[in-house]
Structure 1
């Protein structure tokens, strides 16, 4: 087998590993994202629990970067302190390293089992939760399979005359090897994938354990760079946690590299095989960073704040920042296709604003103040202004001769705008009132009640995104899925209400105190979902798939 063919096979195996990692991460986020976020918020106040929560979440998401971004967003919103966020990220790095360790065991039997069960779950049901479970299992199966493929693809390299020369060069130049590993990790966007690749190659005798330790340190540098790069245009508060992780983990890897180069320690104690030694070195490094990070957390946080302040964004109140451009060009009214495209662009902007409102309102239920409440109310004013502008624009367009399809599209956009404005009104006039009441009376939901509300909210938010997509794509399958989800949410709301009444019957104090807020919130979210679902009705009616308010049988 030629060298180019070997590299193609190896590249394909690595690509499958990256895809499988992403598949598992996406499935977990969609199936359990809201529950995990709620658990994380609730436990980050305690330093030890923050570390454990970060560890658990990284294992679930198979990505320490995802946890860093999530915790950074919480810190930016004021939900958790930046100090607690730093500790959660320390735990996330250990969780990520433990995932790499688990995947080095012989799990070949799980490949067919995960693929069979996962594919069955994904294809045999329309339930979103079960389909995501199937996605997770398929991703795990493909991930294990990719590791086998990497091993087989790299086998011919053991006979290569060039390979020992390359290994000897990097062994004699650890700084270059360290930087190369950091670059590979940044390109992979995953420390787990990078460590597994190196462990697999070490297991085949292609990398010495000593070189593997240097590469692992480079992996940790590259991994710590990913989150700061992804958040470089975010608000300052969001960037503090990723920058702090870069300071602690990135600088820690540099210090450790210097110590390894100076003392050249024996690493036999890390494991019996080269593969074990590399993965265990990765775990040990992150444990050391955690232990060192506990007393240094305050110092790192203050340093992160200063670094973020030095590279801060311009004042968001400057004219350049608040200036908004409108897609509603008057000159395009003489061309109905162009005018409808402009109106669609503007409606999409309204969709984006409504999505932001829908995401923020649930955060206010947990942590609210007057500034955040006023900011959300201001978004509703923006929705009202854009809604009025779109109606006037389309009213002018109707004066021109339009085809039947153009006239129907015009009415569809107007209808969508009306419903989006109504959603904004429900959020501000109803749900914000609940927030104020909860804040004024210092009320707390029961853990079970809060889980029901966040799960229901998560489903409505997911449906909102589907509705916004259909508004642009006019995809029939997605529209059908959304209408079917409406029935599922009706059952979900009934079950949540019944559970709440059972807690009332048992005399649970928190349920009694928050009863009206709990039930009214579920009702408001159900009404929002109905409005958003009705946005896609014109697509189904156009294709004869809707009879009254029910789907026709396919």
Structure 2
């Protein structure tokens, strides 16, 4: 078999490994994401529980990077402290190392079981939770299968004359080997996939133990770089935890690599075989980083904050607060097509502000203070100002001679602008009042009640983004999907209300205390969804896909 064919088979096996890992993570996030997030928020105040929760989440999501991003977003929203977030990430790294250990056993019998069972579950039902669990099983089966494929694909390399030369070179140049492992891990965006690849190749005798330890340290460097790069454009608060992980894990791997190549300690104590030595070195490294990270958590957190502040450019809004950019150019009014394009740009900006409001309001339900409440109310003031400016600009456009298409677009923008202003009012006048009531009375939702609200809000937020995109794309399929989602939300509201009244009949104390807030919030979110879904009607009507107030059959 030629070298190019061997590399092609190896590349395909590695691609399947990465896809399977992503499939498992996606299935877990879709089926149990809300539960996992709720558990994370509830346990992060205890340092010991933060470590355990991070470890469990990493095992479930098959990715320490996913946990780092999740914890970073919570820290940025003020839901968890930065120090607790650092400890949760430490636990997540150990969790990902344990996943590698688990997958190193002979699990070949699970491949047909997982593939057959998962496929049957996915195809035999429309229930979302069962389908996602089927997806998880299929992903696990493909993950194990990919490891077998990597082993088989690399078997012809035993006869290669070039491979021993390459291995000998990297054995004498640990720095290059260390950086190459870091680059491959960043390329894979998965330390689990990178270490599993090393373990499989080591099992075929391609990697000596000393080089394996150096490569594992490089993998940990590469893994610590992924989250900071993915969050480089995020808010400063979100970036603190990923930067702290880079400081601790990345710097730790560099220090230990230098110490290992200088002292050259024996690696036999790590295991009887090279694959065991690589896996155990990976676990040992992350345990050492956890032990060192507990007393250094405060120092690392403060250093991360300073680095984030230094790397954050000054906000133009602060230095040029009086200069608010507007697309409503008066000189374009004599050209209606250009003026309508300007108005569309400004409406899209209002969409962005409303999306921020809708995203932040659910965070305030869980943890609110006077400063955050005032900040959200200020966003509504911005929406009102832009709403008035857009209405005045559109009124001036209507005084010009418009074609039929321009007149329809003009009416569509007016309708969208009014609906966006109404959504902002619902968030501030209704939902923010619920937040204040919950804060003043010290109320807490039940775990099931909060999960229902979070799921309902997530659906409304997803639909809002579709509606905002529709203003620009005017895609009929998106419009149809948006209206269909309105019916699904109606069924979801009915289901949530029935569950809530069932908890009331059972006498759950928290359900009684938060009953009005829970039901009113569901009602407000449904009203917001209805307003945004109506943005799709002009597009559907233009395409002849709307009959009365209902969709025509496809």
TM-score normalized with structure 1 length: 0.91
Q: Verify the 8 A CA contact 1:490 1:526 in the aligned structure 2.
A: yes
2:538 corresponds in structure 1 to 538
Give the 3 Å change call, closer, same or farther, for CA 291–485 of structure 1 in structure 2: same
- Deviation track 1:373-392 (CA, whole Å, cap 9, x = no partner) reads 11111111222222233333
Unaligned runs of 5+ in 2: none
1:421 equivalent to 2:394? Answer no
Larger deviation, residues 114-123 vs 6-15: 114-123
Q: 2-side partners of 1:55 and 1:200: how far apart?
A: 24
How far apart are 1:484 and its partner, in Å? 2.7
1:191 corresponds in structure 2 to 191
- Deviation track 1:328-381 (CA, whole Å, cap 9, x = no partner) reads 344444555544444333332222221111111011111111110111111112
1:462 corresponds in structure 2 to 462
1:318 corresponds in structure 2 to 318
Q: For residues 145-544 of structure 1, what are the structure 2 equivalents within 5 Å?
A: 145-314=145-314, 318-320=318-320, 323-544=323-544
Q: 2-side partners of 1:308 and 1:530: how far apart?
A: 40
Q: Verify the 8 A CA contact 1:58 1:96 in the aligned structure 2.
A: yes
Q: Verify the 8 A CA contact 1:35 1:455 in the aligned structure 2.
A: no
Q: Verify the 8 A CA contact 1:480 1:551 in the aligned structure 2.
A: yes
Give the 3 Å change call, closer, same or farther, for CA 16–324 of structure 1 in structure 2: farther
Report the 3-state secondary structure (helix = DSSP H, G, I; strand = E; otherwise coil) of the residue aligned with 1:260.
helix
Q: 2-side partners of 1:46 and 1:387: how far apart?
A: 45
Q: 2-side partners of 1:185 and 1:471: how far apart?
A: 39
Larger deviation, residues 287-296 vs 384-393: 384-393
Q: For residues 3-42 of structure 1, what are the structure 2 equivalents within 5 Å?
A: 3-42=3-42
Q: For residues 106-125 of structure 1, what are the structure 2 equivalents within 5 Å?
A: 106-108=106-108, 110-111=110-111
How far apart are 1:438 and its partner, in Å? 1.0
Q: 2-side partners of 1:413 and 1:108: how far apart?
A: 59
2:73 corresponds in structure 1 to 73
Report the 3-state secondary structure (helix = DSSP H, G, I; strand = E; otherwise coil) of the residue aligned with 1:45.
coil
2:86 corresponds in structure 1 to 86
Larger deviation, residues 209-218 vs 500-509: 500-509
Q: 1-side partners of 2:547 and 2:124: how far apart?
A: 26
Q: 1-side partners of 2:343 and 2:115: how far apart?
A: 45
Q: 2-side partners of 1:346 and 1:14: how far apart?
A: 46
How far apart are 1:104 and its partner, in Å? 3.2
TM-score normalized with structure 2 length: 0.91
Q: 2-side partners of 1:189 and 1:375: how far apart?
A: 36
Q: Verify the 8 A CA contact 1:190 1:223 in the aligned structure 2.
A: yes
Give the 3 Å change call, closer, same or farther, for CA 534–109 of structure 1 in structure 2: farther
Q: 2-side partners of 1:324 and 1:249: how far apart?
A: 42
Give the 3 Å change call, closer, same or farther, for CA 315–403 of structure 1 in structure 2: closer
Give the 3 Å change call, closer, same or farther, for CA 104–343 of structure 1 in structure 2: farther
How far apart are 1:428 and its partner, in Å? 0.3
Unaligned runs of 5+ in 1: none
How far apart are 1:146 and its partner, in Å? 3.5
Give the 3 Å change call, closer, same or farther, for CA 482–49 of structure 1 in structure 2: same
How far apart are 1:396 and its partner, in Å? 3.4
- Deviation track 1:275-321 (CA, whole Å, cap 9, x = no partner) reads 33322321221122112222222232233233334444425653247
Q: Verify the 8 A CA contact 1:68 1:89 in the aligned structure 2.
A: yes
Give the 3 Å change call, closer, same or farther, for CA 123–426 of structure 1 in structure 2: farther
1:97 equivalent to 2:97? Answer yes
Report the 3-state secondary structure (helix = DSSP H, G, I; strand = E; otherwise coil) of the residue aligned with 1:318.
helix
Q: 2-side partners of 1:170 and 1:505: how far apart?
A: 68
Report the 3-state secondary structure (helix = DSSP H, G, I; strand = E; otherwise coil) of the residue aligned with 2:232.
coil
- Deviation track 1:87-139 (CA, whole Å, cap 9, x = no partner) reads 10001111222223333344445556655665666677776656655554554
Q: Verify the 8 A CA contact 1:235 1:313 in the aligned structure 2.
A: no
The alignment covers a number of residue pairs equal to: 554
Give the 3 Å change call, closer, same or farther, for CA 199–136 of structure 1 in structure 2: same
RMSD between aligned alpha carbons?
2.7
- Deviation track 1:397-455 (CA, whole Å, cap 9, x = no partner) reads 34444443443333223222221211111000000001111111111122222222112
